[in-house]
A and B are shown apart, each in its own frame.
Chain A
C-alpha cells in the first residue's frame, strides 16, 4: 500500500512534466485512433456488404456497360432469386465540391435485395410510383437540408444534361455501418430519356445486383452466370458483393498502407517522449534510489516502482486520448463526409489505443528500470547532480 502511494507521489513529483507527458500520450493516441478510424471508414463498404449478394459487371472494367437484356438470362440461372440492374450515374449537385454517390436502380427489385435500406413503407411506395422520384440517405438529406417533396437537379457527367427529380423517400440504415449518404433514382427515368436523345446508349446498365438463395453456392453461381456470356460482345465478371467492394478498396491500397505505417509512426513518436521522461526520472533520482537500496529495497522492487510510474503516466494519457477520440472524430466526420459516408470509432480501435498506451508504458520504463536495478549504491552516492 505504502509502495503504491510512493509510486503515485513519484509519478507526479514533477507536476508539469507529468502533465506534459500525459498530454503527449493522449494526443498521440487520439491521432492513432483517428487514423485507424479513417482506415475503418475506407473499409466500411466491405464490412457492410453481404456475402449472399453477387455483382455482375463487364469483364473489361466497371466503366463498360452491359446490355439490359442480360437480366432475363441471369434470372434463369439456378439459385438466382432477384436481379436488379443499376448504373453509376455520377451526377453533380450544384458543383464538384458537393460530391455524393448517386446511382440509378430498378427500384422494386432493389428494395427486395437490400433490406438494409429502411424507408417508411408509404415513402417507399411513393418513390416506386414516381418515375422522377429519388430515394436519399438520411445523412445526405441532413447535409443539404432536403425534405420530402423537394425538387433537386443533378447535372450529368456521364449522361449529359440536367436531371430534375423529386425526393420521395428518405432511408435509414437498418444495420449499423451501412452507408446513409447515397442518392438512388430510377433506371427507367434515365433509360427513357436516353432512348430519345442518345438511342445508341439506351438499354445499357452498369451492373446487376443479384440475390441468391444459398450463400455457400456463391462461387458456383458466379461461374454459371459468367459462362452464359463467354465469347459474347460483353463478357461479364461476377463476384460477391464483398469481393466487389474489396476490389475498390484494393485500388487505393498504396494510400492505405501509407496511412497504416503513419499510424505506427505516431506510436514511435510518443514512445520517444515517454521514454525520455522516464530516463530523466531515473537519472535525477539516482541518489534517492541508492538510499532506498541501502534501506533494503531490492533492485526488482525499485524497477517495478519505476515501471508503475511509467504505467500511471502512459495509461492516464491513453484513457484521456481514447476518451477524446469520439468527439474529435465526430468533428472530423463533418468535414470529410464527401470522402467517407461511414465514420465511426470501433471498439477495436479503442482497445488497441489502450493496448498501445500500456505498451508504451512498459517500453518507456524498460531501460531506466534496468539501470536502477543494476545501480551500484556507492557509485550512485558518489555521483553529483
Chain B
C-alpha cells in the first residue's frame, strides 16, 4: 500500500521557507545548466544555418578559416567553370569569388574594438545565400564603394547604421542597406563589392570561392576535381560542414566549462536537498512510526520520502528552466576564437534541452533524498513511536 501523494506534497507546503530555499538553490543550478546548454546549441544552430548543403566552399589547402585562406585570381576563375556548378537563369555559373577581411570596429555596448567580417561579394553571392534579405535601404550598386551591413552589425557597432559611412582604407564606405540573414553568421557581416574591396585592402587574390552545386551529391566529384588539380592547391568543403567546424573550439570550451560548473554546483544543491530531507525525516520520526503502525510498509515510506525530494527537485527544475527560458530574448555577441571575428547568437531552447534539464533536476532530488529516505524506511516502529 502506498502512502498518499498528498502526504508528500503537503509536507513540502508546511515547511515553505525550507522548501523554497532548497528548491531555489536547485533552481539556480538548473538555470546555469540549462543556460550553458542553450548557449552551445544557439552557437551550433547559428553556424549550421549559415551554411547550405547545396554550396561548396573552396579554401587554400591547410587554411582553417576563410580569413586565413587565399585563392589566386586565375585559379579562382578556373574553378568557377567546373561543370558540377549550377548555372543562373542568364546562363552564368552560380559561383562567387569572395574576399574575406576582418575590420576592427567599435562595439556600442563596451566601447571596445572587435573584429567584424567584411565580405567582398560578386553577383552570385546573393543567390547563393537565399536566407539573406534586405530589411532597410537598398542593395549596394556594383562598381561603387557602397556597402550593406548585417542587422547585428547595424545594431551592435558604432557608425554602422543605415545612412552612416564606415571609414577604412583611406575612404568612406557609405552604408546603403541593412540585411537580415536570420539566425546565421551572415547577420554579423558587412558586404561590399569584391572588386572595390580587394584593391582597398591591398590584395590581389581572392579568399574563397563559393560554388552552388547542381545537386548536393555532386560534391564528391567537385571536391575530387579541385583538390587533385595541382594548380589550385585548394581544398573543398560542403558549406554546412565548414561552418560546423568553425564552432567546434568554442563549443568545446562552452561544454567543458558548462559541465564542470554544473557538476560542482549540483554537488552543492544535492547537499542542500540532503540537509532538508534529513531534517524532514528527523522532525517526523513519531509520524513515521505512526504510519508504519497503521500498516504502511517500509517501501511505502521510502517512496513517500523519495517522492517528496523528487517534488523538491521538480520544483527547482521547473523554476530553473523557466528562468533560463527568459534568456531566449537575449542575444549573445562575442568573438569566435577560431575565426577571430565577432559572431552574434541566441540562447536556443530546444525540447531536448528542457528534457535534459528536468531529468537533471529530478536526479539531483533523488540523489539528495535517497539516503534520508532510506533512514526513514529503516526505522523500527516501536523506537519511532517512543520518541514522540
Interface residues of B in 164-205 (CB under 8 A from A): 168-170, 201-202, 204
Smallest CB–CB gap between B364 and chain A, Å?
Answer: 12
On whether the beta carbons of A61 and B272 are closer than 8 Å, the reply is: no
The residue from A253, A262, A265, A273 contacting B271, defined by CB atoms under 8 A apart: A273
Chain A residues with CB under 8 Å of B17's CB are: 279
B268 A61 Cβ-Cβ under 8 A: no
> Closest B-chain residue to A96, C-beta based?
B64
User: Closest Cβ of chain B: how far from A269's Cβ, in Å?
Assistant: 5
Give the CA-CA distance A83 to B282 in the complex, in Å: 74
The answer to whether A279 touches B275 (Cβ under 8 A) is no
B78 interfacial by beta-carbon distance below 8 Å = no
Say whether B268 contacts A157, CB under 8 Å. Answer: no
Are B268 and A266 in contact (CB-based, < 8 A)? yes
Chain A's closest residue to B271 (CB) is A24
Chain A facing B: main interface SS? helix
CB contacts (< 8 Å) of A14 on chain B: these are: 282
B143-182 contacts to A (CB < 8 Å): 168-170
Q: Distance (Å) between the CB of B169 and the closest chain A CB?
A: 7
* A to B contact number (C-beta, < 8 Å): 169
Asked whether A273 lies within 8 Å of B275 as measured between CB atoms, the reply is yes
A27 touches B114 (CB 8 A): no
Q: How many residues of A contact B (CB 8 A)?
A: 64
Please give me the residue from chain A that is nearest to B279 by CB atom. A280
Whether B168 contacts A273 by the Cβ 8 Å rule is: no
Q: Is B296 in contact with chain A by the CB < 8 A criterion?
A: no
- B299 close to A (CB within 8 Å): no
**Does B201 contact A251, Cβ atoms closer than 8 Å?**
no
Q: Which residues in A have some Cβ–Cβ distance to B below 8 Å?
A: 14, 16-17, 20-21, 23-24, 27-28, 30-31, 34-35, 38, 59-64, 90, 92, 96, 155-158, 160-161, 200, 231, 233-235, 237, 246-247, 250-255, 258-259, 262, 265-266, 268-270, 272-273, 275-277, 279-280, 284, 332, 335-336, 339, 385
What 8 A-B pairs come out closest when comparing CB atoms? Answer: A250-B112, A272-B25, A251-B335, A273-B272, A24-B271, A61-B102, A254-B334, A276-B21
A-B contact pairs, 29 of them (CB 8 A): A14-B282, A21-B275, A24-B267, A24-B268, A27-B271, A31-B261, A60-B102, A60-B103, A60-B168, A61-B104, A62-B102, A157-B63, A157-B64, A160-B60, A160-B62, A246-B112, A250-B113, A254-B333, A266-B268, A270-B25, A270-B268, A272-B22, A273-B22, A273-B25, A273-B269, A275-B21, A276-B275, A279-B17, A279-B18
Q: Which residues of B contact A (CB under 8 A)?
A: 17-18, 21-22, 24-25, 28-29, 31-32, 39, 60-65, 67-68, 101-104, 107, 110, 112-115, 168-170, 201-202, 204, 233, 249, 253, 256-257, 260-261, 264-265, 267-269, 271-272, 274-276, 278-279, 282-283, 332-335, 340, 342
